[in-house]
Chains A and B, each alone.
Chain A
Amino acid sequence: MANQTALRNQTAAVAAAVALGILLLLPLAVKDEYYLHVLIGIMFFAYMASAWNIVCGYTGQLSLGHSALCGIGGYISTLLFINAGISPWIDMLIGGVCATGVGGLVGWPCFRLRGPYFALTTIAFAEILRIWTENTEEFLGIQLRGAQGISVPLRGERPWLLQFDGKVPYYYIILCMLLGVMAVTWWMERSRMGFCLKAIRGDQDAAEALGINSTRYLLSAMALSSFLTALGGSFYAQFFRYINPERNMGLDLSIELALMGIVGGQGTVLGPVLGAFLLTPAGEITRATLGGKFPGLHLVIYGLVLVLAMLFLPKGLIQPIRRLLGRRAAAPVEGEPTPA
């Protein structure tokens, strides 16, 4: 038994090292700007879905308001950059801290609600922010430009301003962010917090009866997830050099993140990444090859994949892969018999 486990761990480590190596060397092989752009998009969604997963995957509360946190990060960092000239590296962190505050403030009353009520309330908060931003040209003397969105001015190639000529530096930045969020998730899963969150997901009342302060753990997860989501929003703004309320705060983005997390496998480190790496290219390929003819096709595919996943793989695509590797499926707390 022990040997088998060790062997499996070795296989996993080798696989992880190979995957990391490929990702690190990929920009050397891919010279085409378009493919690099797509790769960055994939990793951006992998990052965002992973950040979403920290609160939703591990607590079982479905948030459909994460786009608002992404928007807060994007808008705050962009506005600080334009109006105060502060480096986006610092703006990112400021945006992250603001989003953490908002996430905590909104999360505190929301976590009293469960199931669909929680999901609907997060939609309501995010929609309020989006509609307000869409209809506000100027706030306290700051140009928000409403539905038009804001372009990030180009200041030439300056790493300190997070502006580069090529796309390769962005690739490595988002790769680092992705590895970061995976490391945080991995660490959290194995910490006391991770176990408490899993207990809360299994049965919140029972967890509380055991003395777990569920509000504290849920809010910690929410704060962490908010901060990371806002960082992603800032990266998006800097990379695309344009943000608008529809794309960066809209319900569609929230649904897309939840979709990737759920299809991949929520409550696991690799699940959301897997979901993003499968769905984003599928969307991109249909858009690029058939885009002109069938503009909504990639969303039909997303919908189909989501329906099929809910029907046949409710724990996500990660489930059969784990079974293949002989590991237990995601959540032992859900009362599954542990394979001997």
Chain B
Amino acid sequence: MDPIILGIAVVNGIILGGLYGAIAVGLSLIFGVMRVINFAHGSFLMIGLFIPFWLWQLFKVDPYVSMIVAAPALFGLGYLIQATLIAPLYRRERAMVLEPISALMLTAGVGLIIDNVTFMAFGPDFRGITMGFASKALWIGEILNINYTRLIAFLASVAITVALSLFLGRTDLGRAIRSTAQNRDAASLCGINVMRIYNVTFGLGCAVLGVVGCLMIPFYLVSPSIGLAFGVRSFITVVLGGIGSIPGCILGGLILGVVESVAAQFVTATSASIFSFVIFILVLFFRPTGLMGMKA
């Protein structure tokens, strides 16, 4: 294997991995706080990609500007779905212990609806946007080049994750979210409105996808069918990094990105994801808390 080609693959993998990490952050946050596996996660990302796509297509709004529409829109959607669909499950269960499977299937149903309504509206085509800026690249030396849009996406992904960590660590709302994750009853006794925290958490987890979608659309093609693949990939990232750990997400994403990118040099790109699944299974069997996760 040519070390230069391998080097390029690793750099591409890191760039991609940062994005995977940012995509998975929302899933990890939701699972960490609510113990709900959001099976519709990838479908929310798909919406997060379609919003900047249409804003560009119809009004020529720059995707980076679209964030101010996409992030609140997805926050609202997530908030609404949690408040109207998932919250009743909590209220029904005794002692507010949620049966994880029913929430998983419920969000799977939501995902099916989102995917197929989008499919009926826009058809199966893969769509992307072309900006003049998108073809420019940063050259490092003679061989290695990184497309600016990808570089921005990577840096912004890391920034989102850091910002989210700071938010959870330093603000009152963040503290309320963390305390709810640690012990719901104790949080409730301290005067925290647990159901409202859940709504906000779910909304936040989705809002991140609005931002990521705007970062991805300059170089990524969107179609209504991409949701499930990204959802599954996010589960792998989250489990790899350790459920509930925000820095773990980026680490998991980076590992996943590099593995996929390097493996694609040896086998076809479509079979490269087999390796991610194998890693996923090994981690679950041998280190179920993930690489940076805390003991349950």
Kindly identify which residue among B105, B112, B277 contacts A124, using a CB–CB cutoff of 8 Å.
B277
Interface bits B161-200 vs A (CB < 8 Å: 1, else 0) = 0000000000000000000000000000000000000000
A85 CB–B CB distance under 8 Å: no
CB distance from A334 to the nearest CB of B (A): 10
Interface bits A261-303 vs B (CB < 8 Å: 1, else 0) = 0100000000000000000000000000000001111011011
Beta-carbon contact of B106 and A135 below 8 Å: no
Bound state CA distance, A220 and B250, in angstroms? Answer: 40
Kindly identify which residue among A62, A120, A302, A311 contacts B89, using a CB–CB cutoff of 8 Å.
A311
Number of residues from B at the complex interface, CB < 8 A:
42
CB distance from A166 to the nearest CB of B (A): 34
User: For B31, B85, B120, B224, which residue has the most chain A Cβ atoms within 10 angstroms?
Assistant: B120
Bound state CA distance, A185 and B268, in angstroms? Answer: 43
Closest to B273 in A: A131
Beta-carbon contact of A255 and B108 below 8 Å: yes
CB contact under 8 A between A120 and B239, given known A299-B116, A303-B112, A311-B88: yes
Residues from chain A with a CB closer than 8 A to the CB of B239 are 117, 120
Bound state CA distance, A175 and B247, in angstroms? Answer: 54
A306 CB–B CB distance under 8 Å: yes
Which segment of A108-116, A202-210, A231-239, A322-330 sits at the interface? A108-116
CB contact under 8 A between A123 and B281, given known A299-B115, A314-B102: no
Beta-carbon contact of A258 and B116 below 8 Å: no
Beta-carbon contact of A131 and B109 below 8 Å: no
CB contact under 8 A between A262 and B228, given known A134-B270, A303-B111: no
Residues from chain B with a CB closer than 8 A to the CB of A73 are none
Kindly identify which residue among A115, A125, A295 contacts B281, using a CB–CB cutoff of 8 Å.
A125
Bound state CA distance, A311 and B280, in angstroms? Answer: 31
B271 CB–A CB distance under 8 Å: yes
CB distance from B114 to the nearest CB of A (A): 8
Beta-carbon contact of B85 and A311 below 8 Å: yes
Beta-carbon contact of A300 and B116 below 8 Å: yes
Interface bits B218-237 vs A (CB < 8 Å: 1, else 0) = 00000010001000100110
Beta-carbon contact of B109 and A310 below 8 Å: yes
Kindly identify which residue among B105, B113, B236 contacts A310, using a CB–CB cutoff of 8 Å.
B105
B7 CB–A CB distance under 8 Å: no
Beta-carbon contact of A113 and B284 below 8 Å: yes
Beta-carbon contact of A127 and B101 below 8 Å: no
CB distance from B148 to the nearest CB of A (A): 32
Residues from chain B with a CB closer than 8 A to the CB of A135 are 267-268, 270-271
Beta-carbon contact of A116 and B37 below 8 Å: yes
CB distance from A305 to the nearest CB of B (A): 8
Beta-carbon contact of A115 and B100 below 8 Å: yes
Bound state CA distance, A194 and B105, in angstroms? Answer: 24
B119 CB–A CB distance under 8 Å: yes
Beta-carbon contact of B270 and A131 below 8 Å: yes
Residues from chain A with a CB closer than 8 A to the CB of B268 are 135
Closest to B40 in A: A303
Beta-carbon contact of B117 and A120 below 8 Å: no
Q: Which of B85-123 contact A (CB under 8 A)?
A: 85, 88-89, 92, 100-102, 104-106, 108-113, 115-117, 119-120
**B contacts, CB < 8 Å to A:** 31, 37, 85, 88-89, 92, 100-102, 104-106, 108-113, 115-117, 119-120, 224, 228, 232, 235-236, 239, 267-268, 270-271, 273-274, 277-278, 280-281, 284-285, 288
- Which 10 pairs across A and B sit closest by C-beta, in order of nearness? A303-B112, A296-B116, A306-B109, A303-B113, A307-B109, A296-B119, A135-B271, A310-B106, A299-B116, A116-B37
